[in-house]
Amino acid sequence: MVYTIEFGGVEREPGIRMLHDMKEVVCDREWFDSVDDFELYYMFRHLSMSEAELKTINKQHLRYDITVIPPGMMGREFVKTAGHYHPNVPGEEISYPEVYQVLEGEATYLLQKHKVDDILDVVVIKAKAGDIALIPPDYGHVTINASDEPLKMANWVCCDFDSSYVPFRDMEGGAYYLLDKGFVRNPRYEDLPELRYITPVDIPEFGLECGRDMYELVNDTEKLRFLKQPQDFVGVFESIVTI
């Protein structure tokens, strides 16, 4: 299957995450071993509406992406992304953040804060079309489509680093799995905190407003500086994650 989207008047082709790419993080191992490989979700990277805007984005060391996750089940588990962490900003004790906006469908974001081998906090953000979901520094994250409609979401992120998928693979997924019966703990983790739920909110300090297309920040990239220099915005991040 060739799945494409149109963005900026150009047909875009994706990177494709296959089921077998997710081997280490799937909850239902018996089901996984019984099925053939298939396309799971689609990643469209380095998008822009024009060449001029792409130059602006690249100059600012940013990246605008769209990911499409069709509905479905992986055995008893809802379809999800592989999960990853971001590295620390060079010379700082804080990792790079990321911000998502749901364009179509509904998303469930699972965020987990870690220190060495301990999980200190696990947060769930349920977001609908137009909603903003901020991934604060020091949180790994998984996106889940627990609906019966395709999930289409955008993200802004700094492009100066590579994400780390290994911690999620080593622990066979995130701290919790979202199954057809609800969230269940991943037994590979010890002493997990209870899930906390927070609501998507506007973040005026970053120019982010639920219902407003965050791609428009290409015209005000100073508002996206928090993605590159999160150490300057610690108070804002703390206020959001404690809502």
pLDDT tens figures, 140-182: 999 999 999 999 999 999 999 999 999 999 999 999 999 999 9
pTM of the complete model: 0.96
Contacts 24+ apart (CB under 8 A), 6-13: 7/44, 7/47, 7/48, 7/49, 7/66, 8/47, 8/48, 8/49, 8/50, 8/53, 9/49, 12/44, 12/47, 13/44
Beta strand residue intervals within the chain, DSSP E? 5-7, 10-12, 15-18, 39-44, 62-69, 73-74, 77-78, 98-104, 106-115, 118-128, 132-135, 139-144, 151-158, 176-179, 182-185, 196-198
- Mean pLDDT taken over the chain: 96
Report the percent of the chain where pLDDT is more than 90.
95
pLDDT digits (tens, 9 = 90+) for 87-97: 999 999 999 99
How many angstroms separate the CA atoms of 154 and 146, rounded? Answer: 18
Average pLDDT over residues 19-26: 96
pLDDT of residue 243: 59
Average pLDDT over residues 127-149: 98
